[in-house]
Amino acid sequence: MSIDSDYQSVLRIVSSWPPEQRETLAHDVLETLKHHATGLPKQTLQRALGLARGNAPPPSDDDVKRWIHEHRLEKYGQ
């Protein structure tokens, strides 16, 4: 039996199960993937932090306060 035919057989069997049982199976299958992707979340987080960092220095507290004040003026007026 090939992987494709096994997959189709399993899918046919599982399709007849109640939704809650199929959801539990899906969760269990996803849990098995955690063992294979141990470094992935950390790399993804590091990439996201790198993208958010940008090239400029971080804003000062005064800059942030000024931006908030300007935003509130735009949104609410005086």
pTM of the model: 0.42
Q: For 27-42, what is each residue's pLDDT tens digit?
A: 888 888 876 665 555 6
pLDDT digits (tens, 9 = 90+) for 54-78: 778 888 999 999 999 999 999 998 7
Per-domain residue ranges of the chain: 1-53
Query: Is the CB of residue 6 less than 8 Å from the CB of residue 17?
Result: no
User: What pLDDT score was predicted for residue 69?
Assistant: 95
pLDDT score at 44 = 75
- Give 2-30 pLDDT, tens digit per residue: 888 899 999 999 999 999 999 999 988 88
